[in-house]
Amino acid sequence: MHLLETRNLTVRFGGVTAIDNLSLTVGEGEIRGLIGPNGAGKTTFFNAVSGRYPSSGEIRVRDHVVSGLKPNEIVAQGLARTFQHVTLFKSFSVLKNVMAGCHLRSGYSFWGALLGTPRTRQNEADNERRAREILDFVGLGGLADETAANLPHGLQRAVGIAVALASEPQMLMLDEPCAGMNTAETRSMSDLIRRIRGNGTSIILIEHDMKVIMGICDQITVLNFGTKIAEGSPEEILRNTAVHKAYLGSAADAS
């Protein structure tokens, strides 16, 4: 049983086919890299799987068909994601961002919230504890009360991941987590990704920084123009000339 499986996934915008009959499987506990030149359809793939874009074909999570579900239902199925551009509740504190993420897996009733019942207070306390745990886990424990908008870019990305982790996903889809980071930040991000996997969460990773991809992925899928052009271990991908050509540009041949 695969954790995530897509069968003949196709996404069209008007006349353009952004994802073309893509079939892909990701196993449990895997870190899967998704690479390809800009415009290859990587983010579109995330958007389709997370329910943001309508698609044809089939998407399954642990053999449950999730195609056609709304994003919030897909998250409930255990599939969380982050975004290419930093996407946070920017005026919230870091802690509150993560607590919002915890909402899905914690008890909530409207009336309880309104009346402030002991149970709700317990829930909120649990929630906050959970959120702080997650923040500690991603290494942001000291920044819980900062307003998200005031954090530097790299830390905002980490908050984004913390928010996604807060929904306790079985699989996390990371869209360029290292974009715009310096070497040290990138290293700690790679580290974080490995630790997340260590907790039993599978990961699909879109990343342009090849150091990251080659360093932490078990398997890599290469997309170009919405189709899969290669799949395999980092070493295999590095040797694949089709990949070279697609990814590094035509001039790569000449060099």
Partner 1 sequence: MKVEQGTAAAQADGKGNAAPPSLNRYAWAALFAFTLAYPAAVSFDNYLLHVGITIAFNVALAASMWLIWSLGLVSFAHAGFMAIGAYTSALLLTKLGWPMWIGMPLGAILAGAAAVAISLPLMRTRAVYFFMASWSVGEVIKRTIAYFDGLTGGWNGVFDILPPTIDLGPIQINFADRIAYYYLAVVICAIIVLCIYRINDSRTGMIHWSISENELLAEHIGINVFKHKVIGFTIACVFAAVTGALYAHYQTFISPKSFDIWKSEFALVHIIVGGLTTVGGPVVGAISLTVIDETLRATGPFRVILFGVILIATVLLLPGGLETIPGRIRRALRGRKSS
Partner 2 sequence: MLLEIRNIRVHYDKIEAVKGVSLQLGKGEIVTLIGANGAGKTSILKAISGLVRPSAGEILYDGADITRRSPSDIVARGISHVPEGRRMFKLMSVQDNLRLGAYLIRDSKVIAEGLAWVYEHFPILKQKCNQLAGQLSGGQQQMVAIGRAMMARPRVILMDEPSLGLAPIIVDEIAAIITTLKQSGLSIVLVEQNAHLALKLADRGFVLETGSVTLSGKSADLLGNPEVIRAYLGA
Shortest Cβ 178–partner 2 spacing (Å): 8
Task: Find the Cα–Cα–Cα–Cα dihedral 201, 207, 209, 211, rounded to 10°.
Answer: 30
d(CA 212, CA 237): 14
Residue 138 vs 246, nearer CB to partner 2: 246
Instruction: At 191, give phi and psi (nearest 5°).
Output: -60, -45
Interface characters, 113-152, with partner 2 (x: CB under 8 A)? ------------------------------------xx-x
20 binds partner 2 (CB under 8 A): no
Sketch the per residue contact string, 152 through 181, with partner 2: x for CB under 8 A, - otherwise: xx----------------------x--xxx
Angle among Cα 163, 169, 173 to the nearest 5 degrees reads 75
Characterize 2-32 residue by residue with b for buried, 16 or more Cβ atoms within 10 angstroms of its Cβ, and e for exposed: bbbbbeebbbeeeeeebbbebebbbeeebbb
In the bound complex, what is the minimum distance in angstroms from residue 113's beta carbon to partner 1? 4
Residue 62 Rama label (left phi>0; alpha psi -120 to 50; beta):
left
Task: Work out which of 134, 212, 217, 222 binds partner 2, going by CB under 8 A.
Answer: 212
Residues of this chain that bind partner 1 (CB under 8 A): 50, 52, 70-72, 75-76, 80-81, 83, 87-93, 96, 99-101, 103-104, 108, 110, 113-116, 120, 123-124, 145-147, 149-150, 163-164, 166-167
Q: Which is nearer to partner 1, 68 or 249 (CB)?
A: 68
Q: Are 97 and 162 in contact (CB under 8 A)?
A: yes
Structure tokens at 105: 């897996």
Both tokens assigned to 42: 């990587």
249 makes contact with partner 2 (CB under 8 A): yes
- Choose the contact partner of 124 out of partner 1, partner 2, none; CB within 5 to 8 A by kind: partner 1
Start-to-end C-alpha separation, the chain: 43
Residue from 62, 96, 208, 229 touching partner 2 (CB under 8 A): that is 208
For residue 22, the cross-strand partners are: 9
Binding site for partner 2 (CB under 8 A): 37-39, 149-150, 152-153, 176, 179-183, 208-215, 225, 238, 245-246, 248-252, 254-255
